[in-house]
Structures are given as structure tokens and as C-alpha cells.
Chains A and B, each alone.
Chain A
Amino acid sequence: MHPTTLTLSSSLILVIAILIYPLLTTLNPKPKDQKWAVSHVKTAVSTAFLVSLLPLMIFLDQGAETIVTNWHWMNTAPFDINVSFKFDHYSIIFTPIALYVTWSILEFASWYMHSDPLMDRFFKYLLLFLVAMILLVTANNMFQLFIGWEGVGIMSFLLIGWWYGRADANTAALQAVLYNRVGDIGLIMAMAWLAMNLNSWEIQQIFFLSKNFDMTLPLLGLILAATGKSAQFGLHPWLPSAMEGPTPVSALLHSSTMVVAGIFLLIRLHPLMENNSLALTTCLCLGAITTLFTAACALTQNDIKKIVAFSTSSQLGLMMVTIGLNQPQLAFLHICTHAFFKAMLFLCSGSIIHSLNDEQDIRKMGGLQNLMPLTSTCLTIGSLALTGAPFLAGFFSKDAIIEALNTSHLNAWALALTLIATSFTAVYSFRVVYFVTMGSPRFLPLSPINENNPSVINPIKRLAWGSIVAGLIITANFLPSKTPVMSMPLTLKLAALLVTIIGLLIAMELTALTNKQFKVMPKIIVHHFSNMLGFFPAVIHRLIPKLNLFLGQSIATQLVDQTWFEAAGPKGMSSLQVKMAKTVSDSQQGMIKTYLMIFLLSTTIAILLAMS
């Protein structure tokens, strides 16, 4: 094996081994030391990050990618399942980023969760999640990907329902599992189709063999899977509900890593989609409606975590739009940059929440610019990066996406929706920053505001650096695989920036207008639509479970009995008999003489006819 390949694959497998080691130590019945979470888990993740930089540098220098098939796991006749890893452009870049973000979040969690008696278990769950995520991104076959996929889904359930004594947290965890399951139907259907028609789950073989097939069905399955996992419109309510979990969970799973798994799946299998216009159009339209709908919902929310959650959903919609534009590399770039500033936004939210004694309502925050200068500065930086302010991380990905969108031959409404959603991003980001950092405090004077702990500050600072330079570093070092359109009118080139500035100006104008609070709750139809999340949860979560459960209950308790013991049994039979009896007895009027006469007459006529 060539030394480059050997170094690449062994360092990446070493990364996975370093992450699994703390999990194995928990099998030891001896009680762990007090600082296990920090000394073992966080150290493992930071070590793994440093180790994963080596393959990244090799890839940067030589462009080397490897596919490693380690072990033939099982087979049924001609169908093989192996343990194989694909260390290509996507997984080599994503792994260090995921590890960097996780490292920061674990350090933050050591402060956030320090009063929790089960903090060690929390860290174990996060580590298990991370291992599943890395398995997902490095998988070279659908089975391994599915293992990672389900793994992240289950860990999401366990972590959202961390405070399981809370009924709302249980409902949210259940919602996450059920919505993800609906998406999994699509993934399993795609896998079944691939197994049946292409007889392989290895990605390279799928690409080779799919040339002669109509891939619409498996592609729609994959899009359904991405809809479920990445909270696209229709299967999106679980993501804002997932904010019931602790903030480190929201920061890691529901912003940077797990929710991008759906988009990552589509990026991985993009060569299948390139020539299928139905799949691309579906992605485009789905992404566009998601990004607008969730951005509109974010406009009127008052819980800081919900706003950031809807913002995540909106950016996921934008990534889906990019897939629909046939630009998987831009979508991946956005995944990478988004991880940094979104995780930072969540960590800043967590720091603010804890400092204000677990207050999450932005209407009860304010003036934190002077009280928590670093956190509010990083919140502002993160919000600017999110809106695509020039030369921060988000700019390189978002601006490139919008340029590609403007210069493509595609659905005009999708284009319009995405631009409107971009302006909404600016509006709700400004709203968060205004309510949290500006003005005068609207909380109680005795709040445990504290920015002195390095476990809080260092992760936020690290992610702030990432939010500033990550876009530049990635764009400068990696060539685009598809030629971007370079020539376009100035208006189109500046469209993203213009739309963002318009959004910002509108937000500032509205703030100035509504500075003096006149009405507590405005009675505007559009406000209700946005505040109640488009009425989607209110309608769907009441209608569908009620119908299903009612039907199930009726079937179980009444329908079976009524059908088999009554309708198909005595009562049914008796009703049929009664019908027949009534019909027959109606014709029997008891007129014996008439019947006898008719009988005689007809017999006579018959005999006469027979004789003649």
C-alpha cells in the first residue's frame, strides 16, 4: 500500500479508535474518577481532532483520497456487505470540523451540565453520537451508512429526552423519533431498490451500475430520508421541539452534525441525481419552501433557542436548494461553515440562558452587551456570519449559492422564495441581537451573570475564530468541481447582499416603530400564522394522531368484535334471513283459493299445450 494511502487510512481509523476508547472504559465496573468526563472524553475528542488534521493536510497537499475495505462482514449468495470506509474530499474535511465543534461543545458542556448528577452519562451519549456520525460520513456502503444513520437518530432521542421527568421533553423526543422514522422509510426503500436492482450497496458500484436504470424511485426515497433527517417542510416540526434537550445537545446534534446527515446523504449520492430532473426539481422546490416557511416562523418566536432552531431549519432548506442546483460541493461548503457559527450561536444562547437563571425568553433579556461583552460580541459575529456578511464564514458559502441560484435556468418561484428567506434571515438575526444585547435589561437584577469561567469562554472564542476564517480557508484551498458562473450583471452579483441589507433596514425600521410597546399581542393574521409555526404542528399533531389512535382503538375494541361476532355471525346472518323472509312473506298473501285457481289454470294450459 502506498505510504500516503496508508497514512491517510490509518490516521482516520485511529481517530475512530480514539473516540471508541472512552466508551469501552465505561464497561469497567470500577467507578469512574470525578473528572472522567473532562479528562477522558474531552481529551479523546481533542486528540482525535489533532490526529484528523494529518489526513486533512495530506489531502490538501496531494489531493489523495482513499477507500478502505477492511472486513468482509457477511454475504447472501452474490450480495456482499463489507466494512468499508470512504475517506474522500467530503469526509476528510467534515471529520476535523465535526471534531473541532464537538471539542468546543464538550468543554462548554462541562460547565453547563456540571450540576447534573449524570454528567458522565451525558458525555458518553455525546461521544456515542459522535462515533455514529463519523461512521455515517465515512461509510462507503449503504449498510454502514444506515448504521450511522440510525445511531444518530437513537442518540438524538436519548439526548432530547435527557430530562425525562419532563413530559414535554418526552413528547419532543418521541416526535424526533417518529418524524425521523418516516424519513427512514425512504432510506430503506432506496436501499431495498438498490439491493434488488443493482445487487450492491457499495457506493462505487452503485454509481457504475446506475447508468442504465431509471433512478427516480430510489432518489425519491433518498429525498424523503433527507426530508426526515434534515427537517425539511412536511417533516420539520421535530427540530424546534428538540430544543427541549440541553443546549449542548442542540448545539451539537441539531445544528452542526446530525441534521446535516440528510443533506450529506444526498451529497454523497449526488452522481445518481445529476441527470434526474425530477429529483433535482423536487430538492429545489422542497428546499425553497422549507427555507421560507421556517424563516417566516422564526420571525415571531420569543424563545431564543427556538429562533436559532428555525434558523438551522432555514439553512438546511438552503442546502437542499443547493443540491437542487446540482452543486453538491457548495452545499457541503455551507454545511462546514454553518457548523461553526450555528454551534457558536447555541453556545452563546446557553451561556446567556444560564447566566439569566434559565431564562429563555428574549423579551426578558436585554442590555447584555455591557454585562456579557464577549458572549454578546460572539452572538453578533455568529449572526453576521449567518446572514452572510461579507468575508465572514457564511459569506463564502451563502453568496456562492445565491449567485448560482441567480444564474441558473430554474423555477423562478424557488428563486424568489430563497431570496425572501435570505432577507428574513437578516430580520430575525437582527431581532435576536437587538432583544438580547441592546437596550436596557429586562430581567431581575440578581442574576448569576458570569463570563469568567474559561470552560465557557474558550469554546466560544474558538468557534468565533472558526466563524470568521473557516469560509476563507476552505474556499482558498479547495477547487470547485463544477465551474461557477463568473459573469453576471452587478445586480445579480450583489443580490444576496442587497436583500440582506433590505431585510436589516426593515427590521431596524420596525424596531424603531415598535420601540414603545403598545399592544401585548398583536391581533394580526400573519402574526398568528408565523407565531403558531404556520399552524402546522397545531393541525397535524392534533389531526393525525387522533385519527390513528381513534381508529386503532375502535378496531381493537369494537370493530373486530362487531364484525366477527355480530356482522359476520349471528346478527348479520339474521338480518339477511329477515330480509329474505320479508321478501318471500310479502309475496305470500294467504289467498289460497286464488293460488289454487292459478295453479289449476296453469297446469291445464301446460297439459293442453303439451298435447297439441
Chain B
Amino acid sequence: MAALRKGLLTRALSRGIKPGICTNIIGARAASGAPQGMLPGPYPKTPEERAAAAKKYNMTLEDYRPHPDDGCGYGDYPMLPDKSQHERDPWYQWDHPDLRRNWGEPIHWDFDMYIRNRVDTSPSPVDWRTMCKHLFGFFGFMMLMFGLGEMYPSYQPVAPKQYPYNDLYLERGGDPDKEPEPPKHYEI
């Protein structure tokens, strides 16, 4: 009798969830087969629809802001600020510390881009324009200088080999009686 009542109670508590043994015990369920009320819907036009959408996404009415209705297919999904998980407090006791997220929090449309392994939107010490300017300026300057360096390469001065004894006049079979012309030698 008690077991029957307990079963009824559990089933009553989990009303609205897809029936199954596990759901009756732990209340957890898969994302598939969600009831119609939990799925994203069309753009909310009336205040009642807005309130229902805010409740669905576990947000307050003041915080809830849908994407603009411009035909891109966002529906009533909330438009959350484009801030990545890097910007969240690393020391706060999040429910999921690695994701820096609490249970039930609305998920950003581009959440997979904003996890800690991906794009970081946290403010940098130096603003974006300065960073781009400096980086690409540096690179451009280097390319320019390399181009100039190719046009004007560095080298050690070289000259043809200079021999002693009047350019080895006798060793090269010169006439020993004739006086050779003194060759012009240069010093580098």
C-alpha cells in the first residue's frame, strides 16, 4: 500500500517528464523527446509569451531579451552577452567549476565558442586596435627591412689573390735578366 502510494507520488512529482523507471527515481532525463513547452519556440510577440519564454529559459523577465526577429531563425532563444567563460570569476564556487557555470543557467547560442578552450573575450591590458597596429606594423616593418636587406646584402670585400716577388715573376718563367714591371697591389 505504501509502495503504491509512493509510486503514485513519484509519478505525480515527475508529471510532464517522459515516463520511465529512471525518471521516476532520479528525475533526470535526456535532452531528446523534450515536451513541447520546453523546446525553443517562435519569437514572443505578446507580453505573456515573453513571460512564458523567460520562465522556460530560467531567466527573470527583466533579464530576458530575445534575438531580433530578422528572419535568422533564433526564435525566442535569449540573446546573452557575448562574453566567454574566461571572463567569469575563477575563484567562485561554480556548480561546474571547469565550465565556470551553474546548473540551470541559460546557455549562450555560441557556447561552444566561448568555453575555456576556445575564444577568450576577456579585456586585454592593451586595446584591440593598438594590438593589431603593433603586431602587423612590426611584421610589415620586418618584411620591408628584409626586402631592403635582399637588395643590399652584406658581404666581406674580396679581391683577386696578390702574390709577392712581383707577382711570382721568376716562378712563372719570367726572364731573369729583364727588370719586371712592379705590379700594383692594394690593401683592404
Contacts and interface: CB of A to CB of B under 8 A. Distances in A.
Interface of A: 165, 167-168, 170-171, 174, 281, 285, 288-289, 407-416, 485, 488, 492, 525, 528-529, 532, 534-536, 538-539, 541-542, 545-546, 549-550, 553, 557-558, 561-562, 566
Interface string B118-132: 111100111010011
Contacts of A529: 134, 138
A304 to B, nearest CB: 22
| In the A-B complex, the 10 residue pairs with the closest CB atoms | A413-B149, A411-B149, A535-B131, A412-B154, A167-B116, A409-B155, A549-B113, A413-B145, A535-B135, A412-B149
Contact of A410 (B110, B119, B154): B154
Given A528-B125, A538-B124, A411 B146 contact: yes
Which residue among A285, A415, A535 has the maximum number of chain B CB atoms within 10 Å of its CB? A535
A539 B131 contact: yes
B156 A539 contact: no
B135 A549 contact: no
Contacts of B148: 412-413
A529 B153 CA distance: 29
A542 B121 contact: yes
A553 B110 contact: yes
Contacts of A541: 119-120
Given A538-B131, A539-B131, 7 more contacts: A167-B116, A412-B148, A412-B152, A413-B148, A534-B135, A549-B110, A562-B71
A412 B145 CA distance: 9
B126 A167 contact: no
A174 B119 CA distance: 13
Contacts of B124: 532, 538
A10 B183 CA distance: 63
B82 to A, nearest CB: 10
A562 B73 CA distance: 9
19 contacts: A170-B117, A281-B150, A408-B154, A412-B152, A412-B153, A412-B154, A413-B142, A413-B145, A413-B148, A413-B149, A414-B149, A488-B156, A532-B131, A542-B121, A545-B113, A545-B118, A546-B113, A553-B109, A562-B71
B132 A539 contact: yes
B97 to A, nearest CB: 10
Contacts of B116: 167-168, 171
Contact of A532 (B126, B145, B154, B156): B126
B30 interface: no
A412 B147 CA distance: 10
A415 B152 CA distance: 12
Nearest to A172: B117
Contacts of B72: 558, 562
A549 B149 contact: no
A542 B120 contact: yes
A492 B154 CA distance: 13
Contacts of A414: 146, 149
Given A409-B155, A415-B154, A550 B113 contact: yes
A165 B116 CA distance: 12
B48 interface: no
A545 B145 contact: no
Contacts of A289: 142, 146
Nearest to A548: B113
Nearest to B158: A409
B175 interface: no
Which residue among A407, A492, A528, A566 has the maximum number of chain B CB atoms within 10 Å of its CB? A528
B98 interface: yes
B138 A534 contact: yes
Contact of B125 (A532, A545, A550): A532
Contacts of B69: none
Nearest to B117: A171
Contacts of B109: 553
Contacts of A412: 148-149, 152-154
Contacts of B49: none
